[in-house]
């Protein structure tokens, strides 16, 4: 009888360790950002872990038309006048009122294809009034109309190996978000702002809205969307090599 004590305890410890191990395995994909392990990116890890654990699919607050504020344009305000790899194409498309503009959606999808602006506008749309927070220290409230990114990803069919969605812009920005943000109901490909077509300075003809992250994640002047199975930091055009965090939950 007495010998049962230690055996039971040892069994309990083994069972406990096994379930801890299982827990760790179960938690890893959700709670560690792809930048985990880079000592300079510790902030990413803490924000990502905390927000993914606490927020899940929570929506950000939406405002009313009475709350709209003036909305400064920052960063690029016209790729056509820059010297970037997409500038000549952007100049040509802008001169045609973006009639020939097309968004390419490719990568880990079953049916890669391009979308014209009219094709995107024919898909189910969503309008939302949200607060934008720029890392430079200002906020503004604007109304965005567009197609949820999830609708477009549904149309092309995510492959089971899909894990990130990478964006490329006409001013050569490269950035990515994980599927939790990509499939979030407030993540939009926006073609309208405050009831009008998206203005040039705010990213015409199409920009991203990632409402649960800071302003620079909402890429303007979209050109390509690439679904990836591995994290891609965007190289010299990505925010990591430019000294910014990949994950910037607010
Ligand atoms: N392609 C591209 N996207 C961009 C930027 C940019 O310079 N180029 N600036 C970012 C930053 S820092 C912010 S705060 C918002 C600004 O959006 P707005 O110009 O509509 O205010 O766009 C983000 N997306
Ligand atoms: Mo910003």
Structure pTM?
0.86
Ligand 1 atom nearest residue 215's Cα: 14
| CA 206 / ligand 1 centre spacing (Å) | 12
Beta strands 139-148 and 188-193 are antiparallel
pLDDT in tens, 21-65: 444 444 444 567 887 777 777 777 778 877 777 766 789 999 999
Q: What is the DSSP string of 94-136?
A: HHTTTTT-EEEEEESBSS-EEEEHHHHHHS--EEEEEEEE-TT
Ligand 1 atom nearest residue 170's Cα: 1
User: In residues, how long is the chain?
Assistant: 250
Q: What is the pLDDT of residue 30?
A: 53
Cα 209 to the center of its chain, rounded Å: 8
- CB of 216 within 6 A of ligand 1: the answer is yes
Q: What is the pLDDT of residue 21?
A: 41
pLDDT in tens, 60-83: 999 999 999 999 999 999 999 999
Name the closest-CA residue to atom 2, ligand 1. Answer: 220
| Domains of the chain by start residue, with CATH | 9-55 (no CATH), 65-242 (3.90.420.10)
- CB of 73 within 6 A of ligand 1: the answer is yes
Q: How many angstroms separate the CA atoms of 194 and 196, rounded?
A: 6
pLDDT bracket for residue 170 (50, 70, 90) = very high
Q: Which residues contact 20 (CB under 8 A, 6 or more apart)?
A: none
Name the closest-CA residue to atom 12, ligand 1. Answer: 216
Q: Which residues contact 242 (CB under 8 A, 6 or more apart)?
A: 236
């Amino acid at each position: 009888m007495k010998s049962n004590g230690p055996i039971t305890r040892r069994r309990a410890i083994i069972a406990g360790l096994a379930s801890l191990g299982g827990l760790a395995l179960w938690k890893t994909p959700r709670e560690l950002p792809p930048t985990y392990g880079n000592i300079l990116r510790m902030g990413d890890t803490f924000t990502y872990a905390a927000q993914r654990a606490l927020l899940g699919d929570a929506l950000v607050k939406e405002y009313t038309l009475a709350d709209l504020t003036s909305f400064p344009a920052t960063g690029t305000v016209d790729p056509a006048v820059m010297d970037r790899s997409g500038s000549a194409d952007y100049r040509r498309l802008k001169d045609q009122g973006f009639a020939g503009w097309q968004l390419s959606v490719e990568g880990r999808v079953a049916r890669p294809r391009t979308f014209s602006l009219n094709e995107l506008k024919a898909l189910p749309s969503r309008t939302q009034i949200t607060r934008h927070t720029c890392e430079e220290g200002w906020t503004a409230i604007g109304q965005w109309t567009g197609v949820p990114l999830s609708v477009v990803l549904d149309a092309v069919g995510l492959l089971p190996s899909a894990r990130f969605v990478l964006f490329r812009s006409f001013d050569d920005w490269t950035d990515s978000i994980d599927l939790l943000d990509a499939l979030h109901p407030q993540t939009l490909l926006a073609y309208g702002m405050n009831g009008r077509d998206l203005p040039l300075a705010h990213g015409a003809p199409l920009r991203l809205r990632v409402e649960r992250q800071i302003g620079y994640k909402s890429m303007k002047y979209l050109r390509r969307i690439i679904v990836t199975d591995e994290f891609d930091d965007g190289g010299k055009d990505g925010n990591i090599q430019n000294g910014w965090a990949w994950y910037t939950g607010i």
